[in-house]
Amino acid sequence: MEADPEFLGPAALAKGMRFVGDARDHADVERLEEYNSEHGIWDCTRCYFCNQRCPKGVDPRDAIAKLGAESINEGVDRDMGAKHAKWFVRSAMTTGWLRETELVPKTQGIVESIRQARFAIKLARVGKVPAPFPPHVAKDVKEARRLHELVEQQDRHGYAGIVQGEAALAKLAHGHHEGERDPYGPGSFPRPSLPGENGDTRR
């Protein structure tokens, strides 16, 4: 995957999330519009290298994910990356899978779909494109729907619905060692509730 040399960068965007997540700041939408511009949050390649190398344990990639979620929550979703994310959630909630045959029209529009029709036909001929109808529904799709319902019940919209990366999630479940940064300590974002906590008995 080719990285954008003009990408704003993880350090700048992580700092930007500090302002967006600050209740005292009232310029969220204006900031998000700027972060959604060309070379902004959706140009992140999601390699997570910044999380691994950050000397202060800030987890910049997670901050970028929070910016993306908050952008969609605030209606700043014109970028193709935002449209992709929205369709991914919708597809997972309804079928438990990413419905790839509908991805291009939902994210790039009808005109681009027509342009790519010849390529799609070639893929279909060799069995690389599943039939769009009827959509294939995962056996355990109810689990995906329960997860969506849980987020709704906890009113975790925008950045509040983003649990930090795998390392932070492990610390959330098993605790963290003395001297390590608590990802949900003072000055950080609210600690999310996991299934089985706060009276939630669903598994």
Asked if residue 150 lies in contact with residue 195, where contact means CB atoms within 8 angstroms, the answer is: yes
139-150 mean pLDDT: 89
Model confidence band, residue 76 (pLDDT cutoffs 50, 70, 90): very high
Q: What is the pTM of this model?
A: 0.73
Residues 3-59 have pLDDT tens digits of 788 999 999 999 999 899 888 888 999 999 999 998 999 999 888 888 888 887 778
Q: What is the pLDDT of residue 202?
A: 43
What is the 3 state secondary structure string of 65-128? HHHHHHHHHCCCCCCHHHHHHHHHHHHHHHHCCCCHHHHHHHHCHHHHHHHCHHHHHHHHHCCC
Asked if residue 57 lies in contact with residue 13, where contact means CB atoms within 8 angstroms, the answer is: no
